[in-house]
Amino acid sequence: AQFDEIESLEYRENVLLLKYNGKYGIINLRDSLIIKNMYDTIKSDTYYEEETDYKKSGYIVGTAENNEYKYGYIDNRGNEILQNEYSQIERFINNEDDIYLVAFKGDKAGFYINNKKILEHEYEDIYYDNKNKCLVVQKDSKQGVLDVFGNVIINIEYDNISILGKYINAYKKNEVESI
């Protein structure tokens, strides 16, 4: 096949980004197709582990619809994890074989482990704290802490949450609770 463009993909070794008929796909250097040429944009999620470098890094794929991009997620083996229906996707960590993703629909964030929705798209922001294995969430301008299964650790009622090592500080009207 004749390709419009062939280039390397940042943060990924042994794969090539191919453009054919205006759409992008991915092949590995053994000429095996990983992602079909059907996307308007593909980028690495930049996931890194010391022992494997970027090998477990997956792909954030996008399609343009009505001058707006919709994003999905494909793992490093080419399996679709999330369909192209999100305005933004961020990957956090692999917990053994699990992929933690925060995906926005418009301005509301949801949390996924692999393709399973753990938290509905009702949060202004979600941040994963790797050291404590918890989520700092913001809803209606208030923050709280949940575990990765959505169980409440700290109620969503604080003005700000900061995590310093194993300590969680919850601020409300200039008062601090250390947990």
* Confidence tier at 12 by pLDDT (50, 70, 90): confident
3-state secondary structure of 151: coil
- Whether 150 has a pLDDT exceeding 90, the answer reads yes
Amino acid identity of residue 51, one-letter, is E
Which of 6-20, 75-89, 102-116 is the least confident region?
Answer: 6-20
pLDDT at position 57: 85
Residue with tokens 């989520």: 135
| Portion of the chain with pLDDT greater than 90, in percent | 65
pLDDT of residue 147: 95
Distance CA 92, CA 100 (A): 5
Q: Is 126 exposed, middle or buried (0-12, 13-18, 19+ CB in 10 A)?
A: buried
pLDDT of residue 1: 60
Q: In this predicted model, what pLDDT tens digit does every residue of 21-30 receive, in sequence order? A: 999 999 988 8
DSSP letters along 92-138, please?
EEEETTEEEEEEEETTEEEEEETTEEEEEEEESEEEEETTTTEEEEE
Identify the three-state secondary structure at position 38.
strand
What are the tens digits of pLDDT across the range 73-107?
999 889 999 999 999 999 987 666 789 999 999 99
More confident residue, 97 or 120: 120
